[in-house]
Amino acid sequence: MDNTLLERITHNPDICHGKPCIRRLRYPVEFILELLSSSMTSEEILEDYEDLEREDILAVLLFAADLQC
């Protein structure tokens, strides 16, 4: 598992009710997963949310995969 990617996922009780978010940006992991499951591509997400980076999406997927284990 790539821990440097997972460091992009943060937990703060004062941000998004403590849900796991991307780099304290108030983008919950579940929101990005919903976008991906609605057939948006990573490229489309990055175009729509310019403060996100490709590694953020990879971190979300890695985080979600880790939850399934």
- Which residue ranges make up each domain of the chain? 3-67
| CA dist., res. 53 & res. 68, Å (int) | 24
As given in the structure block, the two tokens for residue 43 are 């490229």
* pTM (whole model) above 0.85: yes
Please, which pLDDT band fits residue 29 given cuts at 50, 70 and 90?
very high
- Domain 3-67 bears CATH identifier 1.10.3720.10: no
- Sort 34 into a burial class: Cβ within 10 Å, 0-12 / 13-18 / 19+: exposed
Quick one: pLDDT band at residue 67, thresholds 50, 70, 90?
confident
